[in-house]
Structure 1
Amino acid sequence: MAEHAPGGSGLRAALSTLDGPPRFLLLSSFLIPLGSFMILPFMSVFLHERLGMGLGTVGIVLAVASLVQFSGGIVGGALADRIGLRRTMLWALIIRTAGFIGLLLALRWPPLAVAALVLTCCGAALYLPANKAYLVHGVDDERRPAFLSAGNAALNAGMAVGPLIAGPFVLSSPGWLFVAVTALFVLVTVGHARLPPAGGARKSGGQGAAQSLLAGVAVLPFAANALAFYLYFHFQHYLAVYAVERASSTFYSLVLLLCFTLVIVVQPLASGLIRRMPYATALTVGFTGLAAGLAVLAIGTRTALLAGGALITLGDIVLFLKNDLEALHRSPRSDAVVFGQQRLAAGLGACASGVLGGQLYSLTEQAGNTGWFWLMAAAQCLVLPPVLLALRKRPAQHPHPHHDDEGALRPHGTNGRVPGR
């Protein structure tokens, strides 16, 4: 993306360079969450009402599944680094398709549902780092934000549309719904099999062939991503119960739709600005947006729910994209490994939010004022980030040349420096 054209025209210019395979990946980035979110958001209802699981058991199952889906990304990145991007995506989709078949069979044998759900999450963990790395393979630093934000927009569009399509059928006709989703994943898998390889596995003896999963981790972007997801998942985990009590489940869906729409529209348009923004500024802007949004939620009115969700989303648009870009530039590892490390950070943050945030929400509920939950979460947005910025004073690791999947050296970026500096 050109320095002087961060908006819509610059975005279109950058994306106009996409050829067939990346365009197919962007389409897949919509279709895969579309199919997944026709089922996964309703799993608590499905497991409890359709399969008869207790809510306590359901909560444990969903916590484990979420941890696998996020933190397992570090394994997906390492696998892509070893066997190649296309093969990793293929195996991930095969595993995830098998998981949806398992959910279909669970209608006849309910105990299979838990294993099937975890299997779908394993597939998601393996897929995303390879998908992102393939999308930006060989792309220079200036165009990477546009490509990544376009992928994020497609992802959020699928997440927004999937529940709207599937809502009426989850409990009334789950069998046909699972068949449709399975068929969609079969088609997407076949399409991935036709992609050209972005490279094979790294040659044995190449740099990083035997490195540990966390070797070369970019410490500050990793920690910032974990903290961002920890704070964001206060919103993700607990808004439903808070909003339904004060409005309705339909209004809660409207809040989520607004958040998805903002990511789809704003992040691609703002990607150039986010790329050039100094990292400390991006962290300040992002966490301030989170703090403001969480504080507004404490008011509890419908207007506050919409405004709070919008502010939180705008903060995360900056944080999530900038953390990925910064990690790519600070780490000497391959793109797929870096994305996997960032997914691990996200999983740790989301898990901590589930454990600590749940205790905090329970305390405020017992005290009779859950608005304090959002105020205490907002306070954490202001208190914790300065600790991260203290890490920035440490000397940054100079980016080393990367190996592509064939083992050939390639430059980390076009200018050899971290953008926005």
Structure 2
Amino acid sequence: MRSRRGRTWPTLSPLLRLLILTQLAFNIGFFAVLPFLAEHLGAAIGMAGWLVGLVLGLRTFSQQGLFVVGGALTDRYGVRPVVLTGCVLRIAGFAWLGYAQQTWSVIGAVLLIGFAAALFSPAVESEVARQAVLWEEAGRGPRTRVLALLTVAGQAGAFLGPLLGALLLSVDFRTVCLAGSGVFVLVLAGHLWLLPQHIPGRERVRVRGGVGDMLRNRRFLAVCCAYGAYLLAYNQLYLALPDEVERAAGSQAPLAWLFALSSLLVVTTQLPVTHWAAGRLDQRRSMAAGLVLISAGFAVVALARPAAWTGVAGLMPAAAFVVLLTLGQMLVAPAARARVPDLTPDGRLGLYTGALSSVSGLIVLAGSAATGSLLDAGLPSWAPWLALAAIPLLATVLLPGRVRAPDPSAG
């Protein structure tokens, strides 16, 4: 098993290796800055808490909500110009944020930073998905192995980025921002040199008409809803989990260790989990199994809540939740990305890849508001967690069965 997994990276094309390493670099630069932004806005600039939340929400919307725009532009103009433009905007956004001191200036910088990702991320992810299909068709293995490498690279960047940021924060926040900008300067230079002007097989299409067909593509929208259920569950790391940790430990200090546990699990076990799943489960069953594991994570906390354990024992259900959620993520995320090419008409992979993030992001936005209300509703302590456990289970019903490659003229 190990030797077969070990052959995955060497068999990748130079383009695939570049794109996967790009994901690593993107996340190092981004997460060197993001974890320290809220503290900077509140303590250094003096923003009120609601305004800090608004700024962070605007950044998320300008990124996740506009992925569909970046995907459509990738289909129209190609991967290279969209990635390079996104890098230039990210460089400018981080530099601007480092010097921004007024509210309007901070908002402008974070919107630019978010929109930059809305350009380059769908471009990279859609091309990795397309190349993964070609890799699979060449008989080298299931496409999920390639997409798992993309997940590992992203998670490794999310792990290393805050370490870089914390190191530079001893100077000041501006230095952190300029370092993040510098990472993207290196990415830009590398892509100017290495990223092909035209990628064979990637035809450019007009933006017009693609969105309407996509909105009539029920199978694709069903996958988006199931993926959105996973992301809503994942978002509870930042919403429901802190409340549970505070209850059990009397502070949120253990959160950092639980987040590190999640990152470490992905980096060390994503590839073995994907290899195991590829030999036993198709993409639909992999997503379903992942959603069931996520549901079990919520159920563990719901069952333990009436006992009201505290201290180390009280943190065990939270740790089990993180482990089960992360294992579920490792099954759902690569499988969902692997399904998108089979549900996409020719020439629209960028649009559909971006829409997967945008549609599921809207689900998370609406679901997070509902979850927050649920947590504040004064219900028995186990009830919100049990309700959250039901959502991934219900999402498994939405998953479409195996499909053939779509007719380009069909929605």
TM-score relative to the length of structure 1: 0.83
* Aligned-residue offset at 1:317: 1.4
Q: How many residues align?
A: 386
Q: Find 2:128's aligned residue among 112, 126, 135.
A: 135
Q: 1:241/1:190 Cα in 2 relative to 1: closer, same or farther (>3 Å)? A: farther
CA–CA separation in structure 2 for the residues paired with 1:360 and 1:170? 37
1:111 is aligned to 104
Q: Please give the per-residue CA displacement for 1:189-217, whole angstroms capped at 9, x wherever unaligned.
A: 1111112234399777x6x6532335244
Q: 1:295/1:28 Cα in 2 relative to 1: closer, same or farther (>3 Å)? A: same
Q: Which amino acid aligns with 2:389?
A: A
Superposition pairs for residues 266-415 of structure 1, below 5 Å? Answer: 266-275=269-278, 277-298=281-302, 299=304, 301-333=314-346, 334-364=348-378, 370-382=381-393, 384-385=394-395, 387-389=397-399, 392=400, 398-400=404-406
* Aligned-residue offset at 1:374: 2.0
Tell me, what secondary structure is at the counterpart of 1:53? Answer: coil
Tell me, what secondary structure is at the counterpart of 2:7? Answer: helix
Q: Please give the per-residue CA displacement for 1:90-130, whole angstroms capped at 9, x wherever unaligned.
A: 11111111110111121x44531111112111111111111
- Asked if 1:227 is matched to 2:229, the reply is yes
Tell me, what secondary structure is at the counterpart of 2:210? Answer: coil
Tell me, what secondary structure is at the counterpart of 2:11? Answer: coil
CA–CA separation in structure 2 for the residues paired with 1:116 and 1:78? 24
* Aligned-residue offset at 1:252: 0.8
Tell me, what secondary structure is at the counterpart of 2:196? Answer: coil
Q: 1:162/1:240 Cα in 2 relative to 1: closer, same or farther (>3 Å)? A: farther
CA–CA separation in structure 2 for the residues paired with 1:240 and 1:281? 31
Superposition pairs for residues 221-260 of structure 1, below 5 Å? Answer: 221-247=223-249, 248-260=251-263
CA–CA separation in structure 1 for the residues paired with 2:161 and 2:77? 32
Q: 1:35/1:241 Cα in 2 relative to 1: closer, same or farther (>3 Å)? A: farther
CA–CA separation in structure 1 for the residues paired with 2:198 and 2:372? 42
What percent of counterpart residues are identical? 25
CA–CA separation in structure 2 for the residues paired with 1:134 and 1:331? 13
Q: 1:246/1:87 Cα in 2 relative to 1: closer, same or farther (>3 Å)? A: same
Structure 1 residue runs without a partner (length 5+) = 1-6, 404-421
1:408 is aligned to none
Superposition pairs for residues 73-222 of structure 1, below 5 Å? Answer: 73-106=67-100, 108-138=101-131, 139-141=134-136, 142-167=141-166, 169-170=168-169, 173-194=172-193, 195-199=195-199, 210-213=208-211, 215-216=213-214, 217=217, 218-222=220-224
CA–CA separation in structure 2 for the residues paired with 1:176 and 1:60? 24
* Aligned-residue offset at 1:67: 2.5
* Aligned-residue offset at 1:234: 2.4
TM-score relative to the length of structure 2: 0.85
CA–CA separation in structure 1 for the residues paired with 2:243 and 2:95? 31
* Aligned-residue offset at 1:134: 2.9
On the 8 A contact 1:160/1:260 being kept in 2, the answer is yes
Q: Please give the per-residue CA displacement for 1:215-236, whole angstroms capped at 9, x wherever unaligned.
A: 2442321221122212222234
Q: Which amino acid aligns with 1:350?
A: V
